[in-house]
Chains A and B, each alone.
Chain A
Amino acid sequence: MTAELVRGQNHPLSQARLEIRVAAGTPIVAGATLSDEHGKVHGAEWVAHPGAPTLPGLEVSRQAAADHRLAVDLGAVPEAVHRVSVLLALPSPAGAAPPRFGAVPAPFLVVTDLDGTEIASYTITGLDAESAVVALELYRRQGAWKVRAIGQGYAGGLAELLGDQGLDAAHQLASGINEAVAQGLARSVPAPPRPTDTDRPRQPAAPALGGDQGGPAPQATTGVAAPHPAPPYGNQPPGALNQPASPYDAQGVPGAGAPQPPTSPYGTHNGPAAGAPSDGAQGTAAAAAPTDGSAARGQGSAGVGGPIDYSHPRRRSAAPPPAPTAPPARPGQPALPVAGDATGWSMDERLYNQVWGMFEDLARTAAAYRSAVDFADSRMEKELDQVLSDPRSRIGGQGDAAREAARAKHAQLVEQATAALERDLTQLTAEAEVVEPALPPAYARWDNPVWHGYRVPTEVPMALRLGDLRLPEAAELRIPMLVRLPLERGLWIDSGQAGTLDDSFADSHDLRRLAMETAVAHAARLLAVYPAGEFTVHVIDPAGSAAQALSPLVRTGVLAAPPALGAAGVADVLGRLTERVDLVQMAVRAGAADSLPPDLDTAEQLLIVNDFPHGFDDRAVTRLRYLADEGPAVGVHLMMVADREEAAGYGPLLDPLWRSLLRITPVPDDHLADPWVGHAWTYEPSLVPNGSQVLQQVLQQVATARTKYT
């Protein structure tokens, strides 16, 4: 629970290590003063400001910025210090009118712990002509620290503020601070000029995205950081990379080895809040940008008679962060494609939708081409028939001329159709080239570098890539085949020879080995994209014939148990999984999920069956069918590696089984149809490149994470 402080209100602090985030919507200077029990600042060395950003237990930014993150370690503050005052000031550019807080959005501060959990927040309202303000103070009270909202403004600026704190050389220090700020601004990236200054309070919160980068003028942060798709806190100042990122490292304070703030999943140089997409990030207007950044701004302008914003100052509106948008196209050319250019609540979902959009576009583009060519063919045929049946065509060259004309019409239409196809394929290929490298592991090919940076995820992704799909018109253009997770249907990896495109796999032994390798690659991918311990794989290998293919799974120890051998093994595994399905079904029907036995594995289950029907008696086949029918609803999935011909002995009994599974092949095969126009697509499984160790490395990580988990 965040305490929303009003002026004068205090709140206890249980942690010593804190972060104070400031969001102002316009570049401001943040600093802090240390004072003794009488409230006196002992000298310039007790003031942290852009010119001298670190003090024991305290660090402020070197620059003026719309957002600040002040690191505070109250345990490291000298004993004599009884109060830490956080101050904010508007930079005063030389020659310009003196700045006033009444003309800018109301500054918003939030005190958080190192995980980004908010402790207390405060919006400074009611300022007008002031250009410096004591925002908060942290103070000792009976051995513990508390935070109090102050909001005391000074029309005389920093000099007056510092003087009020008992500092003798206040004027001198204030001008020193302004100089340091001016230097900091000079170092930072220049921003594009803004049209007018008057409309600034109504601008969307773009300055917040600019973050700590600052700008040459108070209104100049817009667009500085715009190239990234707006990570809420992806705004470490350029200078911060070569300066100690936190006071703890710099000061060698005890506890420097304590757990570091969680790193952001996106690998930016963010602090604690960056990795927390949850409530922790809501604290500042910056996090709420751009949808809600107007809130703080509305309050600010309310002070000068502007429109009142009735929205909750910190409540993020429901809209997800905006999707990256394509840069505007040059006239006459299609827009450049961008990864994630689709709707969705997360990048995961956007990429999923984009891939499906590409799939549909390719299907329809090919349909347009094929129907045009078919039409051209049939029209030419008809016209040639007419020529043949027309008695006049026998006279002189008339028949030849008519035939020639029909062929020319055909050629022209086919040429037009080809041009339209080429145009669409170029666009889709360009899109695939940006989308493919941006895919997360669950959607990526095994040769994508993203797998080398693999970490065990904490959330189940939306979908899984089973392989690639392509059409003969565009052999180079591969569409990722994504299926939703949890799996809705089991998989049947066909080890039979029927229908394979390539005769080089005539050797059925090879094909079987490949089928099992495909199964292992898919199973490994499933294990990898589920969080630790949330996916369990069982293997039935009655004759032990797949030992070599299974070795990556067996060696890394990610299987629930060694592959089951022989008829007894088959019966045992099937029995246990059937029991699980029964139990979960009963519990769900009775509405008593709590009453499941505590040792029941709640993870999703995958059963790989090799060499079906070897080792299966009638009873086992019945159980398998039961699992295929009832399993998916309760998280038990089948992956059959089988040649349908071999199971033909069971007759039509097994037809429903095959139909309930999604058939995929270990070698390219054109048996999959799209849902829109029903083209036959060539499917190619996602296999690990030859000689690559990525599968082993990934499974090793899965195994390690699982040990930690249990």
Chain B
Amino acid sequence: MVDVSKGGAPGGGVNLTKGQAISLQKSDGGSLTAVRMGLGWQAAPRRGLFGTRTREVDLDASAVLFADKQPVDVVFFRHLVSDDGSVRHTGDNLVGGVGQGGDDEAILVDLARVPVHIDQIVFTVNSFTGQTFQEVQNAFCRLVDETNGQELARYTLAGGGAYTAQIMAKVHRTGPGWTMTALGTQANGRTFQDLMPAILPHL
């Protein structure tokens, strides 16, 4: 479904590496109409006494909508739907790992409905509970064609740094269609507001 030659992730999707971009065009030339950015993670078990106990990690997915490098709207756990209705957050997951491979939080983007002036949507992940990504394992974000459930691209968060946020990916307009670029930049912050300085260089 995606015109990217390399890669070979399960489900026909592409395993992205940092900085890699894929065009969100269907192989038949049509554009994707709705995509889902899914986020999944598990709390890493800790070592030592009572090491089997895992502490819950609350990661939050957010999407920031930009028009010409200005933030216009944001979708996160306190504002679940963008004002125009094109971007929707499925709701806050406070512990993660429930699905063990499924999406714990997801953001749906109705690409056809995104207002014409919005040219970039940046997806971020923040650790709301303050743990660093050292305490998170199996974290990934993936882009799914919402119309048929097919995985288009997957990006696995490189494990274990002492940072609390990551700027995962952006979806941006290229000509008439959209392109997704994996960013994978590490940052620190509790919510997306703290990440703004880190996001801006990527626009």
- Give A368 to B82 CA distance when docked, in angstroms: 9
B161 within 8 A of A: no
A371 touches B73 (CB 8 A): yes
**Given the interface contacts A371-B72, A416-B116, A417-B117, does A364 sit within 8 Å of B83 by beta carbon?**
yes
B117 touches A364 (CB 8 A): no
Q: Interface code B62-87, partner A: CB below 8 Å = 1, 0 otherwise?
A: 00000110101100000001011110
B85 touches A372 (CB 8 A): no
Residues of A contacting B: mostly:
helix
B113 within 8 A of A: yes
Residues of A within 8 A of B45 (CB): none
B115 within 8 A of A: yes
| A357-383 residues at the B interface, CB under 8 angstroms | 360-361, 363-365, 367-369, 371-372, 375-376, 379
**Given the interface contacts A371-B72, A371-B73, does A420 sit within 8 Å of B83 by beta carbon?**
no
- Give A676 to B113 CA distance when docked, in angstroms: 16
A413 within 8 A of B: yes
Task: Give the contact-size bracket for chain A.
Answer: 20 to 34
Q: Which residue of B lies closest to A416 (CB)?
A: B116
A375 touches B72 (CB 8 A): yes
A368 touches B67 (CB 8 A): no
Residues of A within 8 A of B67 (CB): 375
B72 touches A368 (CB 8 A): no
Residues of B within 8 A of A417 (CB): 115-117
Task: Give the contact-size bracket for chain B.
Answer: 10 to 19
Residues of A within 8 A of B68 (CB): 375, 379
- Give A677 to B73 CA distance when docked, in angstroms: 12
Residues of B within 8 A of A365 (CB): 84-85, 113
Residues of A within 8 A of B113 (CB): 364-365, 368, 420, 424
Residues of A within 8 A of B117 (CB): 371-372, 375-376, 413, 417
Q: Which residue of B lies closest to A363 (CB)?
A: B85
A372 touches B83 (CB 8 A): no
A361 touches B85 (CB 8 A): yes
Residues of A within 8 A of B116 (CB): 368, 372, 413, 416-417, 420
Residues of B within 8 A of A363 (CB): 85
Q: Which residue of B lies closest to A424 (CB)?
A: B113
| B128-176 residues at the A interface, CB under 8 angstroms | none
Q: Interface code B81-123, partner A: CB below 8 Å = 1, 0 otherwise?
A: 1011110000000000000000000000000011111000000
B85 touches A420 (CB 8 A): no
Residues of A within 8 A of B85 (CB): 360-361, 363-365, 367-368, 676
- Could you tell me the distance in whole angstroms from the C-beta of B175 to the nearest C-beta in chain A? 13
12 more A-B residue pairs beyond the given contacts A368-B116, A379-B68, with a C-beta to C-beta distance below 8 A: A361-B85, A364-B85, A364-B86, A367-B84, A368-B115, A371-B73, A371-B115, A413-B117, A417-B115, A417-B116, A420-B115, A424-B113
Can you list 24 residue pairs at the A/B interface with Cβ under 8 Å?
A360-B85, A364-B81, A364-B113, A365-B85, A367-B84, A367-B85, A368-B83, A368-B115, A369-B115, A371-B83, A371-B115, A371-B117, A372-B116, A375-B68, A375-B70, A375-B72, A375-B117, A376-B117, A416-B116, A417-B116, A417-B117, A420-B115, A420-B116, A676-B83
Query: Which 4 pairs between the two chains have the least Cβ-Cβ distance?
Result: A364-B85, A368-B84, A368-B115, A416-B116
